[in-house]
Amino acid sequence: MFDAILIEKPEANQTVSLTQVNPDQLPEGDVRVDVVYSTLNYKDALAITGISPVVRSFPMVPGIDFSGIVRESAHPEYKPGDRVILNGWGVGEKHWGGLAKQARVKGDWLVPLPDGLSLRQSMAIGTAGYTAMLCVQALERHGLRPEDGEIVVSGAAGGVGSVATALLAARGFEVAAVTGRMSEAAYLKSLGAATIIEREELSGKGRPLAKERWAGGIDVAGSQVLANMLSAIKYQGAVAACGLAAGMDLPATVAPFILRGVSLIGVDSVMCPLPDRQAAWAGLARDLDKSKLDAMTVEVPFSNVIETAPKFLKGNVRGRIVVPVAAELA
């Protein structure tokens, strides 16, 4: 038996508890992993609180990512003792996730732990940081360079935004960090932000085409924030969009696209192909300042995850939350 956070729905309302689970209950997969670290993400908080129908089947172990050590493997690429990372693939939504001391998954979903990262550091980065790197790489593939101008990042004090800010600054970009918590200005500047913008500046109804302001952007919000961001992107700039914290709608016009040649690049981390994942993780291991990573990371004990989830949804969390599930194994 092993400890797991289990979401159940015996009747109309779901229940969530930290309980014991038999390994025989684990879903199908060709690799069984001893989970060492997991995280608490926005999607996990939605699943645990039940505020949004994130969970597709019950019972479910939440946790959209984890790092750990292979216990058993029938997959040709992995053997017992290997250190691995998992992000996405519907884990924590359709397939039992990382907020448990064991997980059984498809080996094709795993990424070997890159040289230069510990299991804890990989989860301090987690899905949020890995998504941030995918966004940065998307902007660079578009051709954006530091000399082109400032990059705007929404939700900058959150997980994706914090890592994106640090990565962009490390690559020589000037970063305009957007936040709804101006009290986090010193934190954002410590990550490398050059300018701090109050979220309200981008939240109201804007013009279809505003004054050219930024060379590019990384957006986690969607809705009006993304629309206003797009309207102020410079000629042939681009925005990498990876979130919808402010809504799924996009109250914009085609003006930025056809008059300025602006590109909107969708970034998906869940089903991202393995080569792109490996490139993102290699870049994170190489480029992310580990001292800045430490500064944006908070640990929450496994036993406190359920009570922490509602705080996450209220926007009272900065940076990344790491959950030591079985840190003694590291």
pLDDT at 319: 83
For residue 126, pLDDT beyond 90: yes
Asked if the model's pLDDT at residue 314 lies above 90, the reply is: no
Mean pLDDT of 191-201: 96
| Per-residue confidence (pLDDT) for residue 313, from 0 to 100 | 80
Q: pLDDT by residue (tens digit) across 155-171? A: 999 899 999 999 999 99
Task: For each of the domains in the chain, give its residue range(s) and CATH number, in order of start.
Answer: 2-113+300-329 (3.90.180.10), 126-266 (3.40.50.720)
Give the Cα separation of 201 and 194 in Å (integer): 17
Q: Is 172 exposed, middle or buried (0-12, 13-18, 19+ CB in 10 A)?
A: exposed
pLDDT of 52 reads 84
Residue 311 has a pLDDT of 85
Q: What percent of the chain has pLDDT over 70?
A: 100
**Per-residue model confidence (pLDDT) at position 191:** 95
pLDDT band with cut points at 50, 70 and 90 for residue 299: very high
pLDDT tens sequence across 282-293: 999 999 999 999
pLDDT of residue 276: 94
- pLDDT at residue 12 greater than cutoff 80: no
- Sequence-distant (6+) residues with CB within 8 A of 241 are 219, 222, 226, 264, 265, 266, 267
φ and ψ of 53, to 5 deg: -75, 65
Taking the C-alpha atoms of residue 51 and residue 16, their distance in angstroms, rounded to an integer, is 13
Of how many residues is the chain composed? Answer: 330
What is the pLDDT, as a whole number, of residue 312?
81
Tokens read off for 105: 């998954």
| Nearby residues of 283 by Cβ (< 8 Å), 6 or more positions away | 133, 136, 137
Mean pLDDT calculated for residue range 189-209: 95
The confidence score (pLDDT) of residue 1 equals: 93
Of 8, 4, 15, which Cα lies nearest the Cα of 103? 4
Residue 22: exposure state from Cβ atoms within 10 A (0-12, 13-18, ≥19): exposed
pLDDT band at 317 (very low <50, low <70, confident <90, very high): confident
Arithmetic mean of pLDDT, 8-26? 92
**The pLDDT value given to residue 13:** 84
How confident is the model at residue 189, as a pLDDT?
Answer: 97
